[in-house]
Structures are given as structure tokens and as C-alpha cells.
Structure 1
Amino acid sequence: MRKASEVQEPKLYERVAERLGAAIAAGTLRAGDRLPSVRQLSASERVSVSTVLQAYLHLEDRGLIETRPQSGHYVRRRERPLPAEPEVSQPTSQASPVSVSALVTRVYRAANDPRIVPLGAACPSPELLPTQRLHRELALVTREASATAIGYDMPPGSLELRQQVARRSLEWGCPLSPEDFIITHGAAEAISLSLAAVAHRGDTVVLESPAYYGTLQAIETQGLRALEIPTHPRHGLELDALESALRKRKVAAVLVVSSFSNPLGGCMPEENRRRLVELLAARGIPLIEDDLYGDLHFGPLRPRPAKAHDPDGSVLLCGSFSKTLAPGYRVGWVAPGRFRQKVELLKYAHTVATSTPPQLAIAAFLRNGGYDRHLRTLRRQLEAQVRRMVDSVGEHFPEGVRVTRPEGGMLLWVEMPRQVDALELHARALAAGIGIAPGPIFSAQKRYGNCIRLSCGFPWSPQLEGALTTLGSLARSLA
């Protein structure tokens, strides 16, 4: 196993691309400016020509530059200014019972309809995933471990898979051992088990606002109350607001999606993660950290989980391979720290064990290599799709629309003029064969009535562009 000091550094071409990207963002390189030739940049950066070509390809995939035949590389011009970003959310300061299941049912039924353009589904297209290779691994492990593969793999789950996840934790800057992990049915079960381990019926759980509706459903089914905290679309939970709330009321736990949250896409800065852990540790409050999207960063470095700053095992870190490899395999994990024994007992009581063949297949895929290469390709594709979706929303949606700027993941949060009713838009979109996720399902208080979440998990196509054009037209008619 690699040492913690051997955390994977960004590739050389990524460093070159990041410097040029920063210059573009700062305005040092402006739209229409010609970039140095490949040989010039190779000499000035003291890197190979192939490294420069990779860097330019990376920037082109991100939509920052364009190649003009026989001319060179140029900073890409934008046809129109991007929409403004949403402001910090302002939920009420009261803890609320949760009842979102009826609305959520409508959304996920639409996601399962093959006739619907899936702009509401927070999952990547099968086209972007190593489907055939995973199928081969699954077939191979079921043949080679025929008896083992049909038996229960009791908690904590496959040792081979836990070893592979532990090796990856070194690259997160959060070195954990195989014994720290429990394998679950996706991140959803990891979150549900974590909530059950630290909270009791009637307790209050703090979370971001807006928050993922699946988390709200877990809170609802366990009879808990949700306290929504103002959240910045880029930087996540507002810690001053959290600290103020903790002074006024007792809470059982805080639950955050620290990296590329669902639905806002915000990513907590490193210092905020450290402060959050310290703030909660001083009060003896557990932190449930959902790191489902951590591997889908667009920048050169993966954000370190808040768990990296956990001194006493009070952070329950949850994750999954559903967004990066195989949604249908339902393979996730939790590193529950000092709550490990309780979570393991709850896992056995709830579902006995996670399905064995998918665990073995994913373990083999990780062991045999290629996951990091797959992730680099997937991140480039998702970043390009996010950028293009932002442009399209700005072009087709009503004047005054606001859109998030995530630096990872695959989701956009769209805030429309106040008079646009997201639930009515959802109904009209479904009638037109388009699925979206309306804002009210992301709040226990049924807020965000003029907002929707859009998925960027599917490659750009004429069908997708047509669906966005139609959706924008519907939104304009309601405005």
C-alpha cells in the first residue's frame, strides 16, 4: 500500500493547462487572443511538445480555447455573456418535518421512462461508463468464484473491495484502512445507516439548503426533522449561519455534501472543511459527509474530504461508485469512524449484506487498473457538457435566469424569475417528453418554487439541444 505522502499529483499537462486556464479566468488572456505556438509553449514551459498538445486538448475540451486550422490556438469567444449565478440561499431558521416523497415519486418515475429526455436524472449516461469492461469483470469473477459469488458477503463486505477503496483513500489525502470501511447498497444506504446510527426519531439534523431530495427522504422515513442552513452556490454551507444555529438549538448531526453538492454543485474550501470539523467536534456533534461526487472534480486535484481533519472518528464518510462506474451495481461504502460497530449492526439488520458479484467486479476493475484513466476522460466529458449546458440555458431561458458554475459533478441549479412555477414547468415538460427535477423537492420547507435542477450527465446531441430549447420556451411562457 502506498504511503500517505505518495498522494497522486496532477499530470504535467494538467499543470500547464491549469496555468493557462487561470490566465484566461483572470483576463490576462482575453477572448480572441492567440495562444503561444506548441513549440513556443514547449520551450517556455520546458515540457515536451506532446505535453503541450495534451494541455491544449484539455483546454479545448473545457470549452476555453479553440483550434483554427493553419492558424493556431485561440481563446474562445463567447457569443453572449453567461447568466449570473444564484445568491446564497435563505431558508427559514426553523427545523421542519419532511414530506417530499410524493413529489419525488413523480420525478423518478419519469427518469425510468425511455421516452423522456433525462434532464432530471443525476446519473451519467451509459455511453460515458466502462460498461463492457465491467460486464467482462462481472462474468469472470462469477465464473472464478462461483460458490463465493452466490453467498452472502456479510458486513463489513468484500475484503478485496475494501482494500481497493482504502488504497484510493490515500489519493484523497485521507488514508484509511480496509477495516475502516463497510460496503453498502450505494451511498443512499450509507447515508441512511449513518443517520440511524447517530440520531433518533424526533431529533434534528442540519443540512444544506437546497438539499438532495434522497437525503430528505431518508430523514423523512426515520422520523427526523430537517434544519436547513443558508448555502453558497460555490462554497457550500455558510459556517457562520451554522454556528449561530448551533447556539440556539440542539442537533443530533450535521449532514453535508462537501464536494460538488447535489443540487448546487458547491465545493467547500479546504479551510471551511477544517473549521466545520472543529466546530462540530467542540460540541460533540457527528458529521455525516457525503463524498459521492468527490472523484468528479474538473480541476487538477481531488478535494480532500473533511474526514481528513477528523481527530476522533466523529466524521462518517460516505461514498459510492454509482456516479463513476455503474449506477445499477449499487455499490457504496461508509467509513463511520467511532460509530463503526453500530453501523455494521444496522447494516446487517437492514439488508443483511450487499450483493456479492458487483462488489467482486468493481474490486477487480480497480485492481486491474484503468480507473484513473477512465476518470480523467469522464471528468473532461462532464466538464464540457456542464459548460455547454450553462451556455444553452443562458440562450433559451427567460431573461434574468441564474445558473450555478460547478467545478465538478454533473448538475446545474437554475433559478428562474419569481413568476415561473417550477412544478407547473415540470408538468408541462413531462407532457413534452422532458424530465426535470423541480426545486420544491429539494427543501423540507418546499422552498425554491422557481428553481429546477438539470442533469449534464448525457452527451450533447440534437435531441438534448432540442429539449433545452423547448424547456426554455416553456419557462418563458410561464414568465
Structure 2
Amino acid sequence: MNKYSQLVQQLKKRIEKGELTPGSRLPSIRLLSQQYQLSKNTVIRALTELENLKLLQAKPRQGFFVCAPQKQIPALQPKQVTLGATAFSVLGAANKPGLLALGSAYPDSRWPTVSWYYQQQAKTARRWARANHQRRSHYSTPPGDPSLRKSLADHLNATALSCNSEEIVITQGAQEALSLCLRSVAEVGDTIAVESPCYYGTLQCIEALGLNVLELPSDPVQGTNLDALESALNQWPIKAVLTNPSFNNPLGFNLDLATRKRLINIANRWNIAIIEDDVFAELSYNQQRSTPIKALDTEQRVLHCGSFSKTVDVDIRLGWVLPGRYYEKVNYYKYVTSIACPALTQQAISELLIGRRYRRHLIQVSRSYQERADMLAEDVHRYWPDKTLFIQPKGGILQWFNLPEQINSDQLFKQALKAGIGISPGNLFCADNRFNHHIRLCYAHYTQSEEQVTAIAKLGEMMEKL
């Protein structure tokens, strides 16, 4: 066996044994050349062969990364979601007073910009109170406050995609936005394709609307399996794909541009809608927002949803939709669902978007969240079982963990709850209990306080006993 083939086999075995984990970066070509005493050309040839075998992925100016194991495309079929009562029970328990909520996806709201926002809201309220005898009370009916839609359009044009204010519908958070989009593209009994695992709020919304779900295999490295989507489209009448492509909840992946382009091409070919949940897109650790799928849409089939709940404060129930060809339906369903969004909140957010205050805020919080992600990873490595697997995301506030097989995350959830610790068990994020050994944590508030580190250590002790 020649030297290049030997290196291919050696690295292949290390990947198969898990010594080189999915998402990890290989040493540089120079270091590999020194380590194995081979020429750089031999190393490059071996790495290229491993890339052809789908074991490595080359990223420009970054190096070679280990790919997730290639899995045979499973036979997928639509199914009903039955999370309802179970999810409500789990979420209710996780919100009890005194609980250290490590699993809830809440951003940290202790920032100067958030304080400024609430001061601005109070200032507007006082102004309205003084002018009460002159001001006529009225609903801020759909599509929403004109000044907010103008400010939001300016912000999106500067950072993400080309749009005008007349294309935007303001909603009460991203959850309402997703619900309006689903109602606009599908009817009871229709099928929606989603990433799996998938945010439980999305699954609950699909369940409440009487829709079926088709779960597409996804992983933290490569994201959504579009081969599985194409296979499913050949078998089932899918109405739409609902995707969370940027710092996905719960996996944390960020779809690359090629995958986003492939997804929109698939949608065009099969004439289906794409509902793009982009709530975490602005929390990129390198301050470079990925191109929204909406920006690639030439046929107005993408319904792009966003929110301020993850970037400013969870109590700000304000979001938006760029519905494309579905504008009239979304606008109508918004009106018959909730008539309007609070005018006071809309005006305060509009003021926040003017100038650079909001963008400076995003830079500040993203840098902080990256540091906190590292803190959580450090403590997990210290206290949890060695076979715990996770890939740190490059944005957002969430971390997905693959626990050793003997650890049942539902049991861990119950034990943690008794100890005053809240986590999100993996089975919340699917329709058929496939994630028994997974949990999701949120690190937005994780600063390695004594209470937090003690909680991570306790979770590690519980895992050792399960």
C-alpha cells in the first residue's frame, strides 16, 4: 500500500472510531505532513480522497473538517404530531418558581440597549397620556405601524435582503408569524416538511392547525438532509418546507449558501412554499449575517419570519413576516386572529431601529454569547461523561447535546427538576420519541456563576448514575 493510501486508511479509522469527531477541524496540512513524515502533496491527495468519500469537508481559508457519518436515507412518511399535553406538562414544570432554567431559550435582557428601549416605551406612554384629550384611540391594524415597517425595511435592506415596507406584515412575535404562514400555505390534513429535531413550538403549531409533519433528518454539522427532502417529494404531496436555517433551534447549525440555493431550487422545481424562521440570524458570532433564503427567492414563494424576542427581550412579543405571494392571506389571517399589535411597542421598536443603536447591541450580545458558549462547553467537558458529544454553534444561544446511550433524557429531566434544575429533553423536539439520549441547553445567561457550575456538575453526577 502506498503512503497516500496508508494515510487515507489511518485517518478513516480515526474518524470511524470517533477519535476525530464530527465538526472537528483537522490539523493543518503542514502539521499533518510533519506528524506523518509525508510530503505536503501526499497529504493533500489523501485529504482530497477523504473529501470524495464524504468523510471530510474542505472550507476555504479554514481547513478540513470531519463530516457527520453518512446515513442511508430513511423511508419518510407524514405523521400526526401528538406533543400537546406532554409538552405543556414539561414546559409548565420547567417554569416553576425557583428553578434554575438552563433549558429555556431566553436571551439575556440585561443590556443598556434593552433598558433604553423600555425607557423609550415609557416616554412614549407619558406623551400619549399628556395628549389623551387630543389623541383618538385606534387599532394599529395589519399590516402594522407604518413607521416601524419603514424602519424595519431600512434595517433589512442594510443587513440582509432587499425589500420595501409595503411587503412587511407585523406580528405578535415569531410564533404568530409561523402560525399565520402555515395557515396561508396549507389546509387541515396537509403535510409540512420540517427539520428533525425541530423546535417544539413549531411542532405544537402544526399540531394545533391539524397539519401533518414530515421530519427530515438533520445534524449539527451538515444541517438539513435535502436528499431526504427530494426523496419525500417524490412520494408525498408536501405543501411547504418550514426551516430554521440560521443557528438552528435546537441543533445550532447554520446552512451554507450552497445548501440554501439548493433548497430554493427544490422549492421552485416542486412548486412548494418555504417558511423561513430566521429569529437567530442576527446573533452571528462573526457579525456576518448569512444570506436569508428569502434573498435568493425570485418567485416570491418564501415567507420570511423574524422577531425581536431573541435579540432584545423575550417579553417583546413583536415579529414580522415578508410573505411574498402569500401577502394577502397572511394580512387577512393576522387581522382575524388578533386584529393588531400594540402600537406602543411598535413605536418603541421603530425608534430602536433608527441609527446604529440596534446594530451595536447585536455586536455586543453576540460577542458575549460566544464567550458564554465557551464557558458552558468548558464545564460540560469537566463534569459530564466523556462520551457526551456536541458541536459548538457559531451563533445563537442554544446547545444540543448527544448523551451516552445509557442515559435517558426524559429520566434526566425528571431528576434534574427535583434538584431545581430545568433542561429541555430531546423528545420535545420530535413527533416520535427518537431523541431519548439528547438534551438542549441555553447559554445566554451562563456566566459560570457558582449556582450554574454546581448545576452542571450535578447533572454530570446524575448522568453517571443513570
Q: TM-score, with normalisation over the residues of structure 1?
A: 0.80
**CA distance, structure 1, for counterparts of residue 299 and residue 112 of structure 2:** 37
In the other structure, the counterpart of 1:449 is: 436
Is 1:116 the counterpart of 2:103? The answer is no
In the other structure, the counterpart of 2:148 is: 161
In the other structure, the counterpart of 1:97 is: 80
For 2:120, which of 137, 161, 174 is the aligned residue? 137
**CA distance, structure 2, for counterparts of residue 114 and residue 383 of structure 1:** 28
1:131 offset after TM fit, Å? 3.0
1:244 offset after TM fit, Å? 1.3
For 1:469, which of 457, 460, 463 is the aligned residue? 457
Alignment of 1:70-81 (within 5 A): none
**CA distance, structure 1, for counterparts of residue 114 and residue 245 of structure 2:** 28
Compared with structure 1, are the counterparts of its residues 322 and 363 closer, same or farther at alpha carbon in structure 2 (3 Å cutoff)?
same
Q: Which amino acid is the alignment partner of residue 402 of structure 1?
A: L
**CA distance, structure 2, for counterparts of residue 383 and residue 29 of structure 1:** 29
1:151 offset after TM fit, Å? 3.1
> Counterpart of 1:346 in 2: which secondary structure?
helix
1:104 offset after TM fit, Å? 2.0
**CA distance, structure 2, for counterparts of residue 137 and residue 300 of structure 1:** 26
Mean CA deviation greater in 305-314 or 121-130: 121-130
Compared with structure 1, are the counterparts of its residues 455 and 359 closer, same or farther at alpha carbon in structure 2 (3 Å cutoff)?
same
**CA distance, structure 2, for counterparts of residue 109 and residue 119 of structure 1:** 14
Is 1:421 the counterpart of 2:408? The answer is yes
Q: Which amino acid is the alignment partner of residue 450 of structure 2?
A: P
> Counterpart of 2:370 in 1: which secondary structure?
helix
For 1:176, which of 163, 180, 184 is the aligned residue? 163
Is 1:247 the counterpart of 2:234? The answer is yes
Is 1:295 the counterpart of 2:282? The answer is yes
Q: Deviations over 1:425-457 (max 9, x none)?
A: 000001000000000010012210111000111
**CA distance, structure 1, for counterparts of residue 233 and residue 418 of structure 2:** 44
**CA distance, structure 1, for counterparts of residue 313 and residue 103 of structure 2:** 18
**CA distance, structure 2, for counterparts of residue 435 and residue 338 of structure 1:** 41
Alignment of 1:217-232 (within 5 A): 217-232=204-219
**CA distance, structure 2, for counterparts of residue 29 and residue 370 of structure 1:** 44
**CA distance, structure 1, for counterparts of residue 67 and residue 121 of structure 2:** 43
Q: Which amino acid is the alignment partner of residue 354 of structure 2?
A: R
Q: Which amino acid is the alignment partner of residue 247 of structure 2?
A: F
The answer (yes or no) to whether the contact 2:239–2:272 under 8 Å persists in 1 is yes
**CA distance, structure 2, for counterparts of residue 167 and residue 457 of structure 1:** 28
Compared with structure 1, are the counterparts of its residues 25 and 439 closer, same or farther at alpha carbon in structure 2 (3 Å cutoff)?
same
> Counterpart of 2:282 in 1: which secondary structure?
helix
Q: Deviations over 1:401-447 (max 9, x none)?
A: 11122111010111111221111100000100000000001001221
For 1:439, which of 418, 423, 426 is the aligned residue? 426
In the other structure, the counterpart of 1:404 is: 391
The answer (yes or no) to whether the contact 1:91–1:228 under 8 Å persists in 2 is no
**Runs of 4+ with >6 A deviation:** 88-91
Task: Give the aligned CA root-mean-square deviation in angstroms.
Answer: 2.2
The answer (yes or no) to whether the contact 1:410–1:457 under 8 Å persists in 2 is yes
1:241 offset after TM fit, Å? 1.6
**CA distance, structure 1, for counterparts of residue 136 and residue 411 of structure 2:** 47
**CA distance, structure 2, for counterparts of residue 227 and residue 455 of structure 1:** 26
Is 1:200 the counterpart of 2:187? The answer is yes
**CA distance, structure 2, for counterparts of residue 87 and residue 167 of structure 1:** 42
**CA distance, structure 1, for counterparts of residue 216 and residue 394 of structure 2:** 22
**CA distance, structure 2, for counterparts of residue 295 and residue 167 of structure 1:** 15
Q: Which amino acid is the alignment partner of residue 335 of structure 1?
A: L
Task: Name stretches of at least 5 consecutive residues in structure 2 with no aligned partner.
Answer: 1-24, 32-65
Aligned length: 402
The answer (yes or no) to whether the contact 1:234–1:406 under 8 Å persists in 2 is no
Q: Which amino acid is the alignment partner of residue 76 of structure 2?
A: S
> Counterpart of 1:109 in 2: which secondary structure?
helix
Is 1:326 the counterpart of 2:308? The answer is no
Identity value in percent? 36
**CA distance, structure 2, for counterparts of residue 99 and residue 472 of structure 1:** 31
**CA distance, structure 2, for counterparts of residue 164 and residue 239 of structure 1:** 35
**CA distance, structure 1, for counterparts of residue 373 and residue 99 of structure 2:** 20
In the other structure, the counterpart of 2:50 is: none
Alignment of 1:358-373 (within 5 A): 358-373=345-360
> Counterpart of 2:270 in 1: which secondary structure?
coil
Q: Which amino acid is the alignment partner of residue 465 of structure 1?
A: V
Q: Which amino acid is the alignment partner of residue 461 of structure 2?
A: S
1:96 offset after TM fit, Å? 1.2
1:384 offset after TM fit, Å? 0.8
1:114 offset after TM fit, Å? 3.8
In the other structure, the counterpart of 2:323 is: 336
**CA distance, structure 2, for counterparts of residue 204 and residue 381 of structure 1:** 39
1:383 offset after TM fit, Å? 0.6
Q: TM-score, with normalisation over the residues of structure 2?
A: 0.82
Mean CA deviation greater in 361-370 or 421-430: 361-370
> Counterpart of 2:123 in 1: which secondary structure?
helix
Q: Which amino acid is the alignment partner of residue 191 of structure 2?
A: T
Compared with structure 1, are the counterparts of its residues 472 and 415 closer, same or farther at alpha carbon in structure 2 (3 Å cutoff)?
same
1:295 offset after TM fit, Å? 0.3
1:370 offset after TM fit, Å? 1.0
Q: Which amino acid is the alignment partner of residue 77 of structure 2?
A: Q
**CA distance, structure 1, for counterparts of residue 270 and residue 136 of structure 2:** 44
> Counterpart of 1:188 in 2: which secondary structure?
helix
The answer (yes or no) to whether the contact 1:172–1:303 under 8 Å persists in 2 is no
**CA distance, structure 1, for counterparts of residue 74 and residue 255 of structure 2:** 19
Alignment of 1:258-277 (within 5 A): 258-277=245-264
**CA distance, structure 2, for counterparts of residue 291 and residue 355 of structure 1:** 22
Q: Which amino acid is the alignment partner of residue 210 of structure 1?
A: P
> Counterpart of 1:402 in 2: which secondary structure?
coil
**CA distance, structure 2, for counterparts of residue 351 and residue 289 of structure 1:** 22
For 2:334, which of 340, 347, 351 is the aligned residue? 347
Task: Name stretches of at least 5 consecutive residues in structure 1 with no aligned partner.
Answer: 1-23, 31-83
